[in-house]
């Protein structure tokens, strides 16, 4: 069975239950977005699905096999992760950074082609030789997105590949927020699965096929954006009383319409 | 500088350093004479029965300068390679093998041998009679690191931060033990220990090289397999796992490999500072931080720098020998500072 | 009266107290014994050579404590130890309530020696031995410090006579050996040798070797090939504590091709006996000289009680 599946996953960290019986399925061809307030467990759920965190109970299946049973190298061929923050300890160039996603053993020419393709994909086609340390925060974020996309681009074997993004738009301007989400959408259209954590409910509603809302470690709602993103949910999640409207297509939220904050 | 020209420059420097190391010393045997002696040995089919006029110089070349040059190149390469691996592993440009306790453990074992080993020296086989202290230093350095790795590991995971802190604590403990022994040492013992800590390539023999070589070679052979992992670790341990690196295995191999190589280097030449820190930095400046080129180029540059330092150490104060650690620091540190001030942006991320 | 005592009126008072308290039988002692009593029964010796002299003067049982380097005679090793004589603690020494302290040159640190000097205990700090003749001077100074002048004169004369005998024999040597004197085994590193202005250089003078490393000063590590170029015909290895493996030293790359190794002239020497400049110095030096000049005739030195015990193992 293909898909990235969390099945009643609980994670306890330092004695605290940060994820409580959460179940999520990311199907190939689909963009799944996790939303929820700070500390809701979004990143932990993403980590569990990425194989970083071993669930205290429940299990994570990647196309039917336990994610923990994969060797790191095999896992890296099936999923790639863009973390919230990306620091480089040494002054790699943009091109070298993108290449970090590629496994050893790829022919040099092919590697160059993959790197060039994915740098172009994020709009850094002509920045390959620049040191990452000289980039703006947003450019750096995109360089790492190129790295993650290059990882999924290498050694195609026909099996679906999963793109996992933890707040990929945090440092980006509007143009690049949209561009990043477009990259994710194109990956889904090409047959891959996407799981993204987004803070911005509007962006989430725009980008997602499925929205999963978390609060205090538990999933409180899941489904298509216009079924999930409601006044009630916004109140539940963020304790903000605001109107969700459906113009132009699909729901959107006007923060200006907030009536009060508690 | 491109990677190719950078590595080529390092190799050219090493060739120059080897020739310098073979042809410069208190006894004047220049490159020309070097060639003559070499030809005489070849023509004679060995050193036995060599014409008298060549005997002394052949002895100096074959028994003193050649092993010294080989040992110097090996020690320099091992230190620099270990430094590059440590800096990559700890994601810290200041890291050196000292962080994982090798040097402090080796120093403690060395001073223990000097002060307390008199009674046990006769237990060693004849061939090792003079090598009790190096052997003790090797064992002490390696044991300290393995202990440290054990302390920092839980459920098969090695916590680098725990390892760093435990390394500081263990280093302090070793230093306390060293200090205590230094306190009870006589002047001759103190002098022996002090000179050892400053390093020397004196007393190099092929036998000593044969003892140290396997451990240094092990790190050299592991290096190509570490390169991609170290590149990925620059992203952080989690991201390295995400791109397919078995980070725990990488850490184990790197720590054990570095400990073995550095313990062997320190045992054969004392604690020579600075080469392990500076060589990787210089290489990174020239050709960037990618470990596939950085590791071999650091090893080559480290070998060259140590050989050149040794040429200075053995000629500046003849017949006495300057401690080589004094030379590496005295010439290396100001140069390094100059580089740091000029190009700080490119040296640290 | 010794200079040291004149400098210490307090000590003088305590000496009087001792004299006043003496029993009738004590008063019948010969003057030298009375003097010895005056220095008291609690002597602290700092430096292996000094301890040897005190034992040779027959005053070993009056020693209450020695320092770390006092390993000869064997009885000295059974005494309480105040640590290494170059790193003394004043309190540790004074806690033994010594009645006299005799310190070799180099005893320290200076602060400790200052405290000891200002305490109410006679302290005699000996001068450095720079020439062979200083050995006798030192013996007399120690003897005076512990009130054994008569025996001191006899001991000094005997050691001087032995040194003179050795010096005369060495004077007749036609060709002096080019000699390297090493601080100890190399521990797998470079060899550390004595340059000029070192105790090693003086020891070489006693055994009649020409110091090949005289161009440098003090004890320093040598470049291997420089040793080869210095062409040592004899090598003396100082042995402190454990026995030195002469074979291992001979295998060192700097010596492997040397005349010294070829002619089997690598000699281990008891460091304390040779450069501690105690009463055994002539005998130890002659032993080394006999090895270096194996074809030279040396007159037998008279047997002396202070050399009879086997050197510490």
Domains of chain C, start order: 3-126 (3.40.50.1980), 174-307 (3.40.50.1980)
* pLDDT score of B1: 67
Give the CATH fold of the A4-261 domain. Answer: Rossmann fold (3.40.50)
The structural domains of chain A, with segments of one domain joined by +, span 4-261
Residue A24 in this model has a pLDDT that exceeds 60: yes
- In the three-class reduction of DSSP (H, G, I as helix; E, B as strand; rest coil), residue A192 is classed as coil
Q: Which two tokens stand for residue C197?
A: 């202005």
Cα C136 off chain centre by: 12
pLDDT attached to residue B212: 95
Asked if chain B contacts chain A via 3 or more Cβ pairs within 8 Å, the reply is yes
Residue of B nearest to C182 (CA): B188
Statement: residue C24 has pLDDT above 50: no
Is pTM beyond 0.90 here? no
Which of A93, A101, A104 lies at the smallest CB-CB distance from B288?
Answer: A93
pLDDT at res. C18: 40
Query: What gap in Å lies between CA C302 and CA C283, rounded to an integer?
Result: 9
CATH number at residue B174: 1.10.3470.10
| CB of A76 less than 8 A from some CB of B | yes
**Which of left, alpha, beta for A113 (phi over 0: left; psi -120 to 50: alpha)?**
alpha
Q: How many separate domains does chain B show? A: 1
- Dihedrals phi, psi of B302, to nearest 5 degrees: -60, -45
For residue A52, give both structure tokens: 């970083």
Residue A72 to residue B244, Cβ atoms within 8 A? yes
Across the interface, which of B246, B288, B349 has its CB nearest the CB of A72? B246
B216 touches chain C (CB under 8 A): no
> Is C49 an 8 Å CB contact of chain B?
no
Q: How far is the C-alpha of B115 from the C-alpha of B117, rounded, in Å?
A: 6
- Chain B residues with CB-CB distance to C230 below 8 A: 319
- Note the pLDDT tens digit of each residue in A120-176: 999 999 999 999 988 998 999 999 999 999 999 998 888 999 999 999 998 888 889
**Lowest-confidence pick of A255-259, C96-100, C101-105, C119-123:** A255-259
Domain with B15 in it:
3-347
Q: Do B320 and C223 touch (CB under 8 A)?
A: yes
User: Rounded CA gap, C230 and B340, in Å?
Assistant: 43
| C-alpha span between C51 and C60 (Å, rounded) | 8
Tokens representing residue B218 in the block: 């092990």
Name the closest residue on chain B to residue C218, using Cα atoms: B320
Establish whether this prediction's ipTM goes over 0.90.
yes
Q: What is the pLDDT along chain B (349 residues), one digit of tens a residue?
A: 688 888 999 999 999 999 999 999 988 888 889 889 989 988 888 888 888 888 888 888 989 999 999 999 999 999 999 999 999 998 888 787 778 888 889 999 999 998 888 777 777 777 777 888 899 999 999 999 999 888 988 877 888 888 888 988 999 999 999 999 988 888 888 888 888 888 999 989 999 999 999 999 999 999 999 999 999 999 999 999 999 999 999 999 999 999 999 999 999 999 888 899 899 999 998 999 999 999 999 999 999 999 999 999 999 988 899 999 999 989 888 888 887 787 665 555 4
State the pLDDT at residue B348: 53
Q: Alpha-carbon distance B250 to B90, whole Å?
A: 12
Using a 10 angstrom Cβ sphere, with 0-12 exposed, 13-18 middle and 19 or more buried, the burial of residue A135 is: middle
Pairing of strands C123-125, C100-103: parallel
How confident is the model over A61-89, as a mean pLDDT? 94
Cα–Cα distance measured from residue C236 to residue C292, given in angstroms and rounded to the nearest whole number: 9
Closest CA to A169 of A160, A180, A158, A184: A180
> Could B118 and C242 be called an inter-chain contact, meaning their C-beta atoms sit closer than 8 Å?
yes
- Does residue A246 surpass a pLDDT of 70? no
Among B91, B241, B243, the residue with its CB nearest the CB of A52 is B241
Contacts of B28 in chain C (CB under 8 A): none
């Amino acid at each position: 069975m293909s898909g990235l599946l969390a099945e009643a996953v609980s994670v306890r960290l330092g004695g605290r239950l940060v994820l409580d019986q959460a179940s999520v399925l990311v199907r190939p061809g689909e963009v799944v977005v996790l939303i929820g307030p700070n500390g809701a467990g979004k990143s932990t759920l993403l980590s569990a699905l990425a194989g970083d965190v071993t669930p205290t109970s429940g299990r994570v299946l990647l196309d039917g096999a336990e994610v923990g049973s994969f060797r790191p190298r095999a896992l890296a061929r099936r999923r790639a992760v863009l973390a919230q923050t990306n620091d480089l300890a040494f002054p790699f160039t943009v091109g070298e950074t993108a290449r970090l996603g590629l496994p050893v053993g790829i022919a040099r020419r092919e590697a160059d082609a993959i790197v060039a393709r994915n740098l172009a994909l994020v709009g850094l086609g002509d920045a390959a030789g620049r040191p990452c340390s000289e980039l703006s925060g947003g450019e750096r974020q995109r360089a790492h997105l190129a790295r993650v996309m290059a990882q999924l681009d290498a050694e195609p074997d026909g099996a679906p590949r999963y793109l996992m993004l933890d707040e990929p738009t945090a440092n980006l301007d509007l143009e690049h927020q949209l561009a990043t989400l477009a990259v994710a959408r194109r990956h889904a259209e090409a047959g891959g699965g996407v799981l993204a954590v987004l803070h911005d409910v509007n962006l989430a509603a725009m980008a997602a096929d499925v929205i999963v809302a978390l609060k205090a470690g538990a999933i409180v709602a899941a489904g298509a954006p216009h079924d999930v993103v409601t006044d009630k949910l916004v109140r539940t999640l963020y304790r903000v009383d605001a109107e969700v409207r459906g113009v132009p297509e699909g729901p959107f939220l006007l923060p200006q319409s907030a009536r009060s904050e508690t | 500088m491109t990677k190719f020209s950078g590595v080529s420059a390092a190799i050219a420097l090493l060739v120059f350093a080897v020739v310098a190391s073979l042809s410069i010393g208190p006894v004047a045997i220049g490159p020309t004479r070097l060639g003559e002696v070499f030809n005489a040995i070849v023509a004679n089919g060995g050193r036995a029965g060599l014409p008298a006029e060549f005997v002394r110089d052949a002895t100096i070349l074959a028994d003193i300068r050649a092993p010294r040059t080989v040992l110097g190149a090996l020690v320099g390469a091992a230190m620099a390679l270990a430094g590059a691996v440590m800096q990559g592993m700890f994601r810290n440009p200041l890291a050196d093998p000292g962080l994982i306790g090798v040097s402090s453990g080796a120093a403690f074992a060395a001073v223990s041998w000097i002060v307390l080993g008199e009674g046990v020296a006769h237990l060693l086989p004849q061939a090792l009679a003079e090598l009790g202290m190096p052997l003790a230093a090797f064992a002490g350095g390696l044991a300290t690191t393995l202990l440290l790795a054990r302390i920092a590991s839980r459920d098969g995971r090695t916590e680098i931060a725990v390892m760093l802190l435990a390394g500081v604590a263990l280093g302090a403990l070793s230093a306390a033990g060293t200090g205590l022994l230094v306190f009870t040492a006589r002047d001759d013992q103190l002098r022996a220990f002090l000179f050892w800590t400053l390093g020397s390539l004196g007393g190099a023999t092929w036998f000593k090289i044969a003892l140290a070589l396997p451990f240094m070679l092990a790190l050299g052979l592991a290096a190509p397999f570490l390169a991609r992992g170290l590149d990925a670790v620059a992203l952080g341990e989690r991201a390295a796992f995400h791109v397919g690196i078995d980070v725990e295995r990488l850490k184990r191999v790197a720590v054990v490999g570095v400990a073995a190589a550095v313990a062997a280097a320190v045992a054969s030449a004392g604690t020579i500072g600075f080469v392990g820190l500076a060589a990787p930095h210089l290489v990174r400046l020239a050709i960037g931080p990618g470990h596939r080129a950085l590791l071999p180029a650091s090893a080559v540059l480290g070998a060259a720098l140590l050989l050149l330092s040794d040429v200075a150490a053995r000629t500046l104060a003849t017949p006495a020998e300057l401690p080589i650690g004094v030379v590496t620091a005295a010439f290396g540190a100001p140069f390094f500072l100059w580089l740091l001030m000029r190009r700080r942006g490119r040296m640290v991320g | 009266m010794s200079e040291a005592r004149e400098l210490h009126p307090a000590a003088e008072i305590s000496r009087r107290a001792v004299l006043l308290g003496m029993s009738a039988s004590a008063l019948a002692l010969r003057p030298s014994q009375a003097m010895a009593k005056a220095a008291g029964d609690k002597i602290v010796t700092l430096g292996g050579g000094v301890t040897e002299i005190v034992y040779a003067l027959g005053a070993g049982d009056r020693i209450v404590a020695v320092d770390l380097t006092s390993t000869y005679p064997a009885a000295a090793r059974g005494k309480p130890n105040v640590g290494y004589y170059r790193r003394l603690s004043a309190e540790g020494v004074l806690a033994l309530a010594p009645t006299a302290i005799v310190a070799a040159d180099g005893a320290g640190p200076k602060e400790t020696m200052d405290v000891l000097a200002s305490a109410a205990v006679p302290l005699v700090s000996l001068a450095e031995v720079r020439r062979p003749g200083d050995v006798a001077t030192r013996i007399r100074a120690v003897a005076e410090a512990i009130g054994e002048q008569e025996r001191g004169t006899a001991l000094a004369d005997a050691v001087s006579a032995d040194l003179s005998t050795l010096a005369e024999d060495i004077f007749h040597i036609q060709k002096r050996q080019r000699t390297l004197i090493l601080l100890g085994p190399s521990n797998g590193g470079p060899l550390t040798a004595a340059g000029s202005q070192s105790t090693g250089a003086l020891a070489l003078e006693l055994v009649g070797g020409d110091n090949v490393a005289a161009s440098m000063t003090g004890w320093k590590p040598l470049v291997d090939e420089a040793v080869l170029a210095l062409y040592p015909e004899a090598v003396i290895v100082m042995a402190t504590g454990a026995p030195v493996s002469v074979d291992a030293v001979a295998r060192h790359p700097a010596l492997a091709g040397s005349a010294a190794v070829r002619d089997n002239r690598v000699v281990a020497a008891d460091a304390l006996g040779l450069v501690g400049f105690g009463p055994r110095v002539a005998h130890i030096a002659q032993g080394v000289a006999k090895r270096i000049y194996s074809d030279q005739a040396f007159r037998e030195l008279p047997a002396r009680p202070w050399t009879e015990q086997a050197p510490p193992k």
